[in-house]
Every structure is written in C-alpha cells, then in structure tokens.
Amino acid sequence: MTEYSHMIQEGLEVSINALVQSINGLMNQEQNYREKGLPDMADHVRQTIERLYILRNELILIFNEQKKERTDYV
C-alpha cells in the first residue's frame, strides 16, 4: 500500500468515526428537545441527523472502494 493510499484510508476512517460521534451527540440533543417539549427544534435536529447518515454512508462506500482497490492492487 502506498503512503497516499494509507493516508486516504486513515482519513476516511477518522471522518467516519467523527460523523458517528456527531450523530450520537445530535441524537442526544434531539431527545433533550423532545423531553423539553420543543418538537420543532427536535425535528430540525433529526433532519440534520438524516443528512449526516447519508454522508456517513457515502464515506463508507468510498472507504470500501479504496479498500477493494488496495487489495486488488496487491
């Protein structure tokens, strides 16, 4: 694996993990808004969560493609 391939894999992994942490934090925030009777704010947070899930899924696809290319190259 080249140095660049390793950097790409590592960067994608870090990005995916950071998104998961952000999603978890936003889920807690959404729950807090719902408990406080603020459904509009909770819905807005939910929309953001959904967008982050899409981004996370795209990054996972890219990560898996990079992983496959790396194994095909070797």
Tokens of 10: 């590592």
**Cβ–Cβ contacts within 10 Å for residue 52, how many?**
15
Residue type, 18: A
Instruction: Name every residue whose Cβ is closer than 8 Å to that of residue 19 and which is 6 or more positions away in sequence.
Output: 52, 55, 56, 59
Q: What is the pLDDT of residue 74?
A: 55
For the stretch 28-67, pLDDT in tens is 999 999 999 999 999 999 999 999 999 999 999 999 998 8
CA atoms of 53 and 46, how far apart (whole Å): 10
